[in-house]
Structure 1
Amino acid sequence: MKVALLSDCYLPRLGGIEVQVHDLADRLRRSGHEVEVFTATPGRAGERHGAVELVDGVPVHHLALRLPGDLPVNPLAPPELRRRLLAGGFDVAHVHMGVVSPFASDAVDVALSVGLPTAVTWHCVLDAMERVLAVSGRVRRWAGRGVALSAVSRMAARPLERLAPDARVAVLPNGIDLDRWRSPTAPTHLAAGPGPEGDAGPVRLVTAMRLARRKRAVPLARVARRVDDLVGDQIDWRIEVFGEGPQRGLVQAYLRTHGLTDRVLLRGRVSRDQLLESYRGAAAYVSPTVLEAFGIAALEARAVGLPVVGRRGSGVEEFVEHGVTGLLAGGDRDLAAHVATLVLDPVARQRLRRQSLETPPTQSWPAVVGMVEAEYARAGRLARRGRT
C-alpha cells in the first residue's frame, strides 16, 4: 500500500505530533508499505516550496513558505498538494491534526477532491476549538463524505463524537518502541530512596514536558511546593523536569520565590536516550497536564516501569490504572498528595513498580501499526460507500 502522511508539523520541529508521524512513517515502511510525508514545516537545511528531503528512508515534501519563526502555515499549498497526490499513485491519505491545523485541514479537502480514501487522526484535545468546528460544520461534512475519523485516546475522541454524531470515531493510539524502553539496559529496579531497601540518596521523581501554559508548567511548580509542605524534613526528594518552553522564566521565578530551586531541577531538552537514562533509579513519573490527549512521555515512563502520577480525565488514563500502575488525581491537591505518598512510602513505590512491569502497556508499535492498517481499510470502505 502507498500511504501519504500529511501533517502541519514534522521534523526537524520537535513535538508529539512531529515525532509520532515520523515514527509511524518508519514503522509503516518497515511493514512493507511505501510512505511519503507532506508537511508545511521547512526541512533540516531549510527546504521549502515543495523540495523533497529523504528522512530515514522516507521522502518528505516540504510545502513550506518562508515565514517568521518558520510557522507551519501555507495557504498556497493546496494546488501543488493536489498535483502531487494525483501524480503519486497513493492508496490512502492519513492526515494528522493538532489543535489548529490549517495545512492538515486543507489536506483533507484536497485528498477528498482527488478521490483518495482518507483517514484523519486528532492528536489533541479540542477544548475551545470544539465550538469553532461546530459552527463550521467541517468535521460533520468530512464524515459525511466518507472520512474515517479517529483520535489518539477516548478523551480526545469524545468531542469528535459530538461534532459528527452519526460517525464512528476510532481510537488510534500513539505507539512506542516497547522493546527499547523495556530493554535489558533499562532500569531493573527503582531506587527506594532512604530506607533499608534503597540507597541513601534523595527520592527522585521525573517528568518530561514542554514548559508551556497548556502543559501546566507553573502549576507543576505549585504542586511541588505543596509536596514540600506535606513531606517536610522527613525525606530528601527531587523532581527533575526535562524539556524547554516559553514559561521557563516564570517557572524559575516561582521556584526562586518559594525556595524550591533545590527541589525542582530544570534539566532542559534531552535526547530520547538521555531521557531513558534519566529514568534509571527514578521513583515515579509526574504528569500535571489536564488537556493531554495522550501523553507519550508518560507512556514511555510507564513502559520502563515507573509508576505514573497524573490527572483523571487526561490521556494518561489510557494506560494508567489507579492503584495498579500509578495514581490518578482529581485535582492538583490530590496530585500533590499522591506524589507525597510515593515520596514517603517506599513499599507503595515498589508495589506499583512491580505491577507496572508485570502489565506492560499495549501501545507497542506492532499493535498500533495493525490498528492503523485496519483504519486504512475502513477509510477505503467508507470512500466506496460515500457515507459513514
Structure 2
Amino acid sequence: MPKLESGTPRIALISEHASPLAALGGTDAGGQNVYVAQVARHLAALGYVVDVFTRRDDPGLPEVLAWVPGVRVIHVPAGPAAALPKEDLLPLMADFTRFMAGFMAREGSYDLLHANFWMSGLVAADLARMLGLPFVITFHALGKVRRLHQGEADGFPEARLAIEERLVREAHRIIAECPQDEADLRELYAADPARIVTVPCGFDPAEFMPQDRREARQRLGLDPDEALVLQLGRMVPRKGVDDAIRGFARALRGRDLSARLLVVGGNSPDPDPALTPELGRLQAIARAEGVADRVTFTGSRERAALRDYYSAADVFVSTPWYEPFGITPLEAMACGTPVLGARVGGIQFTVVDGETGSLVPPRDPAALGQRLGDLLTDAPLRERMGQAALQRVRTHFTWEGVARQLAQVYREVGQEVERTRPPTVPAAAQTTSPITVERAFQGLIAALAHSRAALQPQIGAAAQAISECFERGNKVLVCGNGGSAADAQHFAAELVGRFRLDGRRGLPVLALTADTALLTAWSNDVGFGDVFARQVEAFGCPGDLLLVISTSGQSPNVVAALQAARTRGLTTLALLGGSGGAARPLADLPLMVASTDTPRIQEIQLLALHLICELVEEQISAAVPASLPTAARLNPPGAASPLISALQISAPQISAAQETRKGANL
C-alpha cells in the first residue's frame, strides 16, 4: 500500500445504514452518522481522498455526490431505495459488495477499507478476500454486548455474532472507541490485543463551543431563569430517556426548584407519537411521574441548532443502559455544560466523576435524581465542572485528533502489508505493464462478483438439464465462434472423455465447430450464417439439447442455430455476455455474464463450463447403479453432491420456458 506512505492515499469508508447526510435523532440516525461524517471531513483535511459508501434509501439521491472537498458520498443500490430498519439489511449486503467491486473496477481501487458497523465489516471482509485489500473496522456496537442488555428485544439476526467473530479474526486493525470497548473485544471475542487500537470519538471546536447561556435561551425561546436539564439523542428505549424523566421527577421532590427537562430528538421536528412511537411511551411516563408540565419534547432539531441547546442547559443528562461510546456528552462538554451520565461504555471514559460531571449506575432513577438535585442546587459546582469539561474535551477529544490517530493506524497497516507483499519482479525483467495486469485482474474480479449470485442458480439448472438429457438417451450439441468455438470443443472433450471422475461412461456431446470440411465447404458454397443451423437440422432430434456460447449473443450463425433447435424441439441453453443480444430470447435458459468486456466474459464462461462439467459428472455418477465399479461408488444413488446441495437447483424454469414456447408455436 505505497500510497499510505507517499502520494495521495484513497480510503473507502463503508457505512451501510448510517449516511453522513442523514438528519440526526431518528431511530437509526445518531452517533455513527456523526462519526462517519467527521472522520471523512478531517481525513480529507489531512490530504486523503475519501469515498463514503452508504445504502441508497431515497430514489432521488444521485449515485455519486461530491459532498465536501476531498469527500464523495456513494449511494449504493442495495435493496429498495427506501428507508429500512437496519435489522433488516443483512440480506442486502451481497448486492452492496457486488456494487462496490464493480465501482472499483471502473474507478480504481482503494488503499484501505474502513468499515463502520458489523454489516459494513462483512462487505469489507468479502472485498478484502476478493481484491486483496486491507481493512479496519469500528464496530460502534457489539452484538454480544447488545444481547446482554436487550435480550429478546434485540432484533438483529443470530448470524451477527458469527460474522463479528470472523471480522475480529480477519481485520487488520479493530478500532475500539474506549477502554470498555477494548475489554469487551478481548473478553467476549478473544480479539488479539496487538490488533486493537483505541481511538475515541470527538467533537469539532468550530461547531461546538460555549455560548452565553441567557442569549442561547433567548434564541430558543426558553425561560432565562428556569433551571434547564437537557436530554438529547435518539428516541429508542436503550438510550434510557425514561430513566432521565423519572430521575428528573425525583430531583424535584422535596426541593423548591423551578426546572424544566428538555428532550430533543425524534424522527421528525414534530413531536408526534405517530411519527416517533417512543415519544408516546415517554409522555405517558412523564404524566405518571407528575412532571408532564415540566417536560418538553421538541422533536428533532437541525444540527446547527444543537450548540444553542447544549449551551442553554445547566446540566446535560445521558443515561443509556449501555453505550459503546456516546458523542453527545462530548458535544455538551465542548459547550461548557457538565454531564450527568450513566457509568457505562464510553461515557465512563469521557466523563470524570466529580470533576467534569457525575456518573450514576444505569437504570437507577433514584441515584440519578439525587445527583441531579445536588447539581441543580449548586451553581458554583456546575460552573467548575463545566470549565473542567471544556478543558478535557479540547485536550483529548477533537475530530482532528481522531483523524490523525486513524491516519497513523492506516500507515501502520500499510507498512505491514508492504512487509508481507511478495517480492516484485525487477523492472528489467518485466515484459508487461503492471498497470495493465492489475486492471485486468480488477476487471475479472469485479465481473466475477457481479456474476456470482446470478450464475449460481443458472449453472445448476443448466447442469441438471444436460444430465436429464443424457439420462433420456439424448445428446448435446454445442457451438460458438472464435474463442467460443475452442470452448465448445473443450466442453465436448471433457464430457465425451472425463472431467474429474475416472471410470464413468462417455457422454454424447457433439461440437459443431469440429468438422472443418463441413464448416469450410458450407461456408464457401452457401454461407457462414447457416453453418451451425445446418448441423442442428442434420443431427438434432427432439429431446436433444443445444448449448451455444457467445460473448455478444449477436452472431447470426448462433442465432440461426437457436432458431433451428427450437423448430426441431431441442432444449436451448445459451452462455452469453452483456445484454445477451438476439440470442437471449431464443434460449430456454440464458446464462448471463454481467460484463461487456469480451476477455472477461470468456474467462467467466470457461469457469461456468467447467462447473457444468463437474456438476454433470456428479449427477450422472450418482444415478449409476451401486453395483457398478469405480466412479459409481464415489456418489451412491440418492446422495447429492455438495455443490448441488449448496445450490439447491431444479429445472422448473427450463420446463416452464419450453411450455411457453410450445404454446407460442401453436
The alignment's TM-score, normalised by the length of structure 2, stands at 0.51
Q: Give how far 1:70 is off.
A: 3.6
1:365 aligns with 2:399: yes
1:249 to 235, 255, 280: 280
C-alpha contact (below 8 Å) 1:4/1:38 kept by paired residues:
yes
Q: Counterpart of 1:207 in 2: which secondary structure?
A: strand
Trace 1:341-352 onto structure 2 (pairs within 5 A). Answer: 341-352=374-385
1:269 aligns with 2:288: no
Residue identity matched to 1:380: G
Write the distance in 2 (CA, Å) between the matches of 1:202 and 1:345.
Answer: 14
Taking structure 1 as reference, are residues 379 and 43 closer, same or farther at Cα in structure 2, changes over 3 Å only? farther
Taking structure 1 as reference, are residues 260 and 144 closer, same or farther at Cα in structure 2, changes over 3 Å only? closer
1:55 aligns with 2:63: no
1:107 paired residue number: 124
C-alpha contact (below 8 Å) 2:311/2:332 kept by paired residues:
no
Taking structure 1 as reference, are residues 301 and 374 closer, same or farther at Cα in structure 2, changes over 3 Å only? same
Taking structure 1 as reference, are residues 4 and 290 closer, same or farther at Cα in structure 2, changes over 3 Å only? same
* Larger-Rg structure: 2
1:22 paired residue number: 37
Write the distance in 2 (CA, Å) between the matches of 1:63 and 1:43.
Answer: 11
2:257 paired residue number: 235
Residue identity matched to 1:378: E
1:110-153 CA distance string (max 9 Å, x none): 134311121111212541458957962x4454454452111222
1:176 to 203, 207, 211: 203
RMSD (Å), alpha carbons: 2.8
1:96 aligns with 2:111: no
1:280 to 308, 311, 315: 311
Taking structure 1 as reference, are residues 129 and 385 closer, same or farther at Cα in structure 2, changes over 3 Å only? farther
Write the distance in 1 (CA, Å) between the matches of 2:109 and 2:208.
Answer: 37
Q: Which moved more, 1:281-290 or 1:300-309?
A: 281-290
Taking structure 1 as reference, are residues 206 and 145 closer, same or farther at Cα in structure 2, changes over 3 Å only? closer
Residue identity matched to 2:95: L
Residue identity matched to 2:45: R
Residue identity matched to 1:259: G
2:185 to 144, 157, 160: 160
Percent sequence identity over matched residues? 26
1:212 paired residue number: 236
Q: Give how far 1:175 is off.
A: 2.2
1:305-324 CA distance string (max 9 Å, x none): 11100011231122211111
Write the distance in 2 (CA, Å) between the matches of 1:249 and 1:189.
Answer: 30
Q: Counterpart of 1:149 in 2: which secondary structure?
A: strand
Taking structure 1 as reference, are residues 327 and 62 closer, same or farther at Cα in structure 2, changes over 3 Å only? same
1:195 paired residue number: none
C-alpha contact (below 8 Å) 1:153/1:173 kept by paired residues:
yes
C-alpha contact (below 8 Å) 2:202/2:398 kept by paired residues:
yes
Residue identity matched to 2:174: L
C-alpha contact (below 8 Å) 1:11/1:43 kept by paired residues:
no
1:355 aligns with 2:375: no
Trace 1:301-316 onto structure 2 (pairs within 5 A). Answer: 301-316=332-347
1:90-121 CA distance string (max 9 Å, x none): 11110011xxx434422322134311121111
Trace 1:68-217 onto structure 2 (pairs within 5 A). Answer: 69-71=83-85, 73=89, 74=92, 75-87=94-106, 88-97=108-117, 101-126=118-143, 127-128=145-146, 136=162, 138-145=163-170, 147-162=172-187, 163-167=189-193, 168-182=195-209, 186-188=210-212, 201-217=225-241
Taking structure 1 as reference, are residues 44 and 318 closer, same or farther at Cα in structure 2, changes over 3 Å only? farther
Q: Give how far 1:246 is off.
A: 3.1
Q: Counterpart of 2:261 in 1: which secondary structure?
A: strand
1:293 paired residue number: 324
2:348 to 312, 317, 320: 317
Q: Give how far 1:35 is off.
A: 0.8
Q: Give how far 1:384 is off.
A: 5.0
Instruction: Say which structure, 1 or 2, has more relative contact order (CA 8 Å, 6+ apart).
Output: 1
2:432 paired residue number: none
Residue identity matched to 1:313: V
Write the distance in 2 (CA, Å) between the matches of 1:80 and 1:253.
Answer: 45
Q: Give how far 1:81 is off.
A: 1.7
Q: Give how far 1:39 is off.
A: 1.5
C-alpha contact (below 8 Å) 1:206/1:284 kept by paired residues:
yes
Write the distance in 1 (CA, Å) between the matches of 2:202 and 2:307.
Answer: 16
1:194 paired residue number: none
Write the distance in 2 (CA, Å) between the matches of 1:203 and 1:213.
Answer: 26
Instruction: Could you tell me which runs of 5 or more consecutive residues in structure 2 were left unpaired when the two chains were aligned.
Output: 1-8, 25-29, 152-157, 216-222, 267-275, 421-666
Write the distance in 1 (CA, Å) between the matches of 2:159 and 2:419.
Answer: 25
Residue identity matched to 1:30: A
C-alpha contact (below 8 Å) 1:149/1:169 kept by paired residues:
yes
Residue identity matched to 1:165: A
Q: Give how far 1:382 is off.
A: 4.5
Q: Which moved more, 1:274-283 or 1:138-147?
A: 138-147
Q: Which moved more, 1:313-322 or 1:165-174?
A: 165-174
Write the distance in 2 (CA, Å) between the matches of 1:281 and 1:178.
Answer: 17
Taking structure 1 as reference, are residues 296 and 134 closer, same or farther at Cα in structure 2, changes over 3 Å only? closer
Residue identity matched to 1:377: R
1:66 to 77, 80, 84: 80
Taking structure 1 as reference, are residues 78 and 334 closer, same or farther at Cα in structure 2, changes over 3 Å only? same
Taking structure 1 as reference, are residues 165 and 240 closer, same or farther at Cα in structure 2, changes over 3 Å only? same
Write the distance in 2 (CA, Å) between the matches of 1:156 and 1:133.
Answer: 21
Write the distance in 1 (CA, Å) between the matches of 2:127 and 2:378.
Answer: 56
Q: Which moved more, 1:353-362 or 1:204-213?
A: 353-362
Taking structure 1 as reference, are residues 276 and 200 closer, same or farther at Cα in structure 2, changes over 3 Å only? closer
